Chains A and B, each alone.
Chain A
């Protein structure tokens, strides 16, 4: 068990961020199953501690660039449930007016530069945001979230090398959830730890238990401090797992075939990041059990409200089709 040196306030903050993600994603899964959402949906359930831990170590004006599994990052950075849910429904009130959808949600007011439908596509963009902060003389940092699959894309190599060579304030957070789409990561590479690759770029590579929100927060704090003080990038490998599949509804794609072992799913259940932090909060007597229950109810209600907001929102007008392409 991680020895908790994180303040009570921050611990509760982490718990809140994670629970917001969990309850939102559970609802999204249900809605998708009911056929109410267009397109693909990739849920962040099981990985909440990574996004929450990292974003809790950031300022509002710091940047993040996300992945196709991006809802959790938006919420972790302080995003709005209503606008995100509306975007998932493809409504005019959504973050991107219905043009982006699940894989392209962005909120520039909180430094969330966008989810990205291309595996590895976001890493260079995050490097650019770090470069921009450097040019403008701010001490903002830029975080690139990506998965184990993206670590095998050329853009991973180019981005880590460039950020290191230019000593840019970028934090690379690899969410190693053990699967690149449907292929186990261990089959796709001949190393166990992606963090080992950091050595090839002359930057620190840190392995963190990605189901431990407190450990994630502390690792991110160290990497952020390093980046902010001009010492360059860090690669954090968060060992995590996704509770669901690559995408919702994937059994249909696979013809019902199994590719994950029952014992693996059981181990994952025993290692649930929210249950883990819940135990810490309770054993440290940070808050009363009733308070956590009330927090859960509030968040659950906010999700219900977000669905109602999305449902009652208008579809984008056809006239908006040619809007917003050119500035």
Chain B
């Protein structure tokens, strides 16, 4: 049986089930107990599991992420919450120099089964230090898996897999997705990390995207269908590992690709996907791969400016129309 639940509820169920299943799993972070986390993902866990397994920390991001690394190396499976992805810079040493490298540096003699849950993205006027999308930063450093679910169903199944994974996983939620709803099975399930999902099949153009932009892409696809443009929406769901086969299969199928993400354009994931497609599927492309991304400025607060910086549905629509036109100079 399926039921419709919120994205944050789906995440909470995953945490609850995994904490029930495995006594080595514990959650740790700022204000995750009594307050339930600022986006209410951990609400109710304190009552269910007590203050030891729902461990509130000082505001010491590098300290508690580093402690989670040490705990994961010695038999535990911590799930830490970084309240905002922007704070990953504060915890950068523990994430990039410690967690990502421990296994490789030790010649594979240790595992680091650690999950760093965080949320990112703009659209709420939170300003330049609380609205960034940092997935390319994490994906750039070898040794960390990077997962970005777009729906409650994916969020639950992927978080459960992330907790069971023997590697460090950065699990990136989106602040505007928490209040979205979707169908989730009553029964327990997991989803494999590293498999993209065709959220909408189509034949003319592929939109390759992830996280909240999947919702925008689907809305665009619905509108363009009325114009007779058949859009495929491929949700990557994870960047590391990247499902190269699904990316290339869809690119070959439609021959036209737009990559959409909320992160900045320069050195972003869109550049990587575009490079991959031109290296592997050049002959099957009808047009250059296009990108719709945030502009390369810190995210401003004023709603008019923030909207101008972040990718909007009309931007995606314009990019698709451009790909379908004969005008190679459109944008």
Q: Which residues of A contact B (CB under 8 A)?
A: 63, 65, 94-100, 104, 106, 108, 113-114, 116-118, 120-121, 123-133, 135-136, 142, 154-155, 158-159, 161-162, 165-166, 323-327
Q: Is the CB of B63 within 8 A of A94?
A: no
Tell me the bound Cα distance from A124 to B71 in angstroms: 10
Q: Is the CB of B319 closer than 8 A to any CB of chain A? A: no
Q: Given A94, A125, A129, A142, which contacts B98 in the complex, CB threshold below 8 Å?
A: A125
State whether B52 touches A135 (Cβ < 8 A). Answer: yes
Q: With A100-B105, A132-B74, A325-B103 in contact, do A154 and B62 touch (Cβ < 8 Å)?
A: yes
* Among B26, B69, B143, residue most surrounded by chain A Cβ atoms (within 10 Å): B69
- A117 to B: closest C-beta gap in Å: 8
List residues of B whose CB falls within 8 A of some A CB.
24, 26, 52, 55, 57-58, 60, 62-76, 78, 93-94, 97-98, 102-113, 142-143, 166-167
Q: Contact between B67 and A127 (Cβ–Cβ < 8 Å)?
A: yes
Cα(A100)–Cα(B109), bound, Å: 11
Residues of chain B with a CB closer than 8 A to A327's CB: 103, 108, 111-113, 166-167
- Chain A proximity of B147: nearest CB distance (Å): 14
Contacts of A124 in B (CB 8 A): 62-67, 69-70, 94, 98
The answer to whether A65 and B58 touch across the interface, beta carbons within 8 angstroms, is no
State A117–B69 Cα separation when bound (angstroms): 16
Complex Cα–Cα for A155 and B62 (A): 7
User: What distance in Å separates the Cβ of B96 from its nearest Cβ neighbour in chain A?
Assistant: 10
Pick from A131, A158, A161: contact of B71, CB under 8 Å? A131
> Can you report 20 residue pairs joining A to B where beta carbons are below 8 Å apart?
A95-B109, A97-B108, A99-B106, A106-B110, A124-B62, A124-B98, A125-B73, A128-B66, A129-B74, A133-B74, A135-B52, A136-B75, A158-B62, A159-B63, A161-B58, A161-B60, A162-B58, A162-B64, A326-B167, A327-B166
Q: Which residues of A contact B105 (CB under 8 A)?
A: 96, 99-100, 104, 106, 114
Measured between beta carbons, the chain B residues less than 8 angstroms from A135 are: 24, 26, 52, 71, 76
Separation of A116 and B73 alpha carbons in the complex (Å) = 14
Contact of A98 among B62, B107, B111 (CB under 8 A): B107
Flag if B67 contacts A100 (CB, 8 Å): no
Give the nearest-CB partner of A126 in chain B.
B70
Among A63, A116, A135, A142, which residue has the most Cβ atoms of chain B within 10 A?
A135
Chain A residues closer than 8 Å to B62, beta-carbon distance: 124, 154-155, 158
Residue contact B63 to A155, C-beta cutoff 8 Å: yes
The 4 closest A-B CB pairs, nearest first, are A128-B70, A124-B66, A324-B108, A158-B63
Min distance, Cβ B138 to any Cβ of chain A, angstroms: 15
